Amino acid sequence: MQRKVIVVDDHLLTLIGIRASLSSDSTLQIVGEAQDVEGLFQLLAEQPCDLVITDLMMPHSQQADGIRLIEQLRRRHPAVAVIVVTMLNNPALLASILKLGVQGLISKRGVQGDLQMATRASLAKPFISPSIRHLLDPGQPTTEVEQLSPREAEVLRLYGAGLSVNEIALHLNRSKQTISSQKSSAMRKLGLDNNASLYLYIQEVGLA
């Protein structure tokens, strides 16, 4: 029997990425998508589901408070499992989300690799992305923008502004191979596994 899934994110690229990640799982069926909190609850009123995969902060919603969103989901639809996908890196906030009884807490930096594991987790043992586990455990090293070299940060800033690798190479008077290598190195340091998650990260941390 398939689990019915609703996906929520105000970034279209993330919706597309999540849809692609789940497409190979025959046990899941996406029955709805929303780009704000209001759209989510309207969908839930019209379309029952078993699992909601949602962003935490959606500034364009009237209800942009992520904790309040999860609280309302747990209270109004207690039988629906919740997986949170976020770029936030505040340990106290992330710990508060886990206390609300979510099935998974995933970083957008590695959503494609982690989402399948989160959908198979349970409330008793939720799945947490490794990068988030590092944040929750002060004894573990974290991967932050400060670890980027000045040239890597410059490449990401231009990429976030909409320039292609070729255009960045021309702008900085470097070879295409050098720019591609610096971009790849920055992605490894940040734990990002695809261009969509890189673009979202750049926008959300204000590198662009």
How far is the C-alpha of 180 from the C-alpha of 148, rounded, in Å?
A: 15
The answer on 99 and 46 residing in a single domain is: yes
The answer on 17 and 103 residing in a single domain is: yes
Q: Which of 136, 164, 190 is the last residue of a domain?
A: 136
CA 68-88-121 angle, 5° bins: 75
Lowest mean pLDDT, pick from 7-16, 48-57, 130-139: 130-139
The distance in angstroms from the start CA to the end CA of the chain is: 44
The answer on 172 and 154 residing in a single domain is: yes
The answer on 197 and 171 residing in a single domain is: yes
Residues with Cβ < 8 Å from 95, sequence gap 6 or more? 136
Residue 205 pLDDT level (bands cut at 50, 70, 90):
low
pLDDT greater than 50 at residue 143: no
pLDDT greater than 70 at residue 199: yes
The answer on 155 and 125 residing in a single domain is: no
Q: Which domain holds residue 121?
A: 3-136
Distances in Å between the Cα of 52 and the Cα atoms of 55, 157, 169 are 10, 33, 41
The answer on 96 and 55 residing in a single domain is: yes
How far is the C-alpha of 78 from the C-alpha of 76, rounded, in Å?
A: 6
| CATH number where 53 lies | 3.40.50.2300
Residue 170: strand, helix, or coil:
helix
- The mean pLDDT value of the chain amounts to 85
Q: Which of 136, 170, 186 is the last residue of a domain?
A: 136
Please state the rounded mean pLDDT for residues 95-100: 88
Q: Which of 112, 136, 160 is the last residue of a domain?
A: 136
At 161-176, the pLDDT tens digits run: 889 999 999 988 889 9
How far is the C-alpha of 172 from the C-alpha of 157, rounded, in Å?
A: 12
How far is the C-alpha of 182 from the C-alpha of 134, rounded, in Å?
A: 24
The answer on 183 and 119 residing in a single domain is: no
Residue 146 pLDDT level (bands cut at 50, 70, 90):
low
State both tokens at 199. Answer: 């673009």
State both tokens at 153. Answer: 């940060």
Q: How many domains does the chain have?
A: 2
Residue 50 pLDDT level (bands cut at 50, 70, 90):
very high
The answer on 189 and 164 residing in a single domain is: yes
The answer on 67 and 31 residing in a single domain is: yes
Per the model's pLDDT, the better-predicted residue between 135 and 80 turns out to be 80
The answer on 173 and 74 residing in a single domain is: no
The answer on 149 and 100 residing in a single domain is: no
